[in-house]
Amino acid sequence: MKKTREEICEITYIDKKKVSAVKKKMKPEMTMQRLSETFKALGDATRTKIIFALSQEELCVCDMAHLLGTTKSAVSHQLRVLRNMKLVKYRKDGKIVFYSLDDEHIKNLFDEGIRHVKEM
Amino acid sequence: MKKTREEICEITYIDKKKVSAVKKKMKPEMTMQRLSETFKALGDATRTKIIFALSQEELCVCDMAHLLGTTKSAVSHQLRVLRNMKLVKYRKDGKIVFYSLDDEHIKNLFDEGIRHVKEM
DNA sequence: TTGATATATGAACAATCATTCAACTATTCA
DNA sequence: TGAATAGTTGAATGATTGTTCATATATCAA
Q: Which CATH number fits domain A45-120: 1.20.1440.20, 3.90.1150.10, 3.40.50.2300, 1.10.10.10?
A: 1.10.10.10
Domain ranges of chain A: 45-120
Question: Partners of A97 in the beta sheet?
Answer: A92
> Nearest CB to B44: which of A27, A36, A103?
A36
DSSP chain A: ----S--GGGPPPS-HHHHHHHHHHPPPHHHHHHHHHHHHHH-SHHHHHHHHHHHH--EEHHHHHHHHTS-HHHHHHHHHHHHHTTSEEEEEETTEEEEEESSHHHHHHHHHHHHHHHT-
3 state SS of B103: coil
pLDDT of residue B32: 96
Q: Which of residues 28-87 of B touch strand D (CB under 7 A)?
A: 40, 43-47, 70-71, 73-74, 77-78, 81
Give the list of residues 6+ apart from residue B42 with CB closer than 8 angstroms, or none: A36, A39, A43, B48, B51, B87, B109, B110, B113
Selected residues 20-79 of chain B with any CB under 8 Å from a CB in chain A? 21-23, 25-27, 31-45, 47-49, 52-53, 56-57, 59-60, 62-63, 65-67, 69-73
Which one has a higher pLDDT value, A5 or B44? B44
Q: What torsion do the CA atoms of B34, B36, B37, B43 make, to the nearest 10 degrees?
A: 150
Q: How many helices (H) and strands (E) does chain B have?
A: 6, 3
From the list A38, A49, A40, A39, the residue with the least C-alpha distance to A85 is: A38
A residues 84..113 contacting B (CB < 8 A): 85-86, 96, 103, 105-106, 108-110, 112-113
Contacts of A15 in chain B (CB under 8 A): 60, 63
Question: What's the pLDDT score for residue A10?
Answer: 55
Mean pLDDT of the region A76-104 = 97
Nucleotide nearest to B47 (CA to C1'): D18
Q: Which residue type, as a one-letter code, is found at position B46?
A: T
3-state secondary structure of B93: strand
What backbone torsions phi and psi does residue A30 show, to the nearest 5 degrees? Answer: -60, -45
Q: What is the pLDDT of residues B45-84, one digit of tens each?
A: 999 999 999 999 999 999 999 999 999 999 999 999 999 9
Using pLDDT thresholds of 50, 70 and 90, give the confidence band for residue A119. confident
Whole-number Å distance, CA B44 to C1' C15? 14
Q: Does domain B57-120 correspond to CATH entry 1.10.10.10?
A: yes
> pLDDT-derived band of residue B2, with 50, 70 and 90 as boundaries?
very low
**pLDDT tens by residue, A5-36:** 444 445 678 899 999 999 999 999 999 999 99
- pLDDT tens-digit readout, B75-109: 999 999 999 999 999 999 999 999 999 998 899 99
Categorize the per-residue pLDDT at A2 as very low, low, confident or very high, splitting at 50, 70 and 90.
Answer: very low
Taking contacts as CB-CB distances below 8 angstroms, the residues of chain B near A59 are 18-19, 22
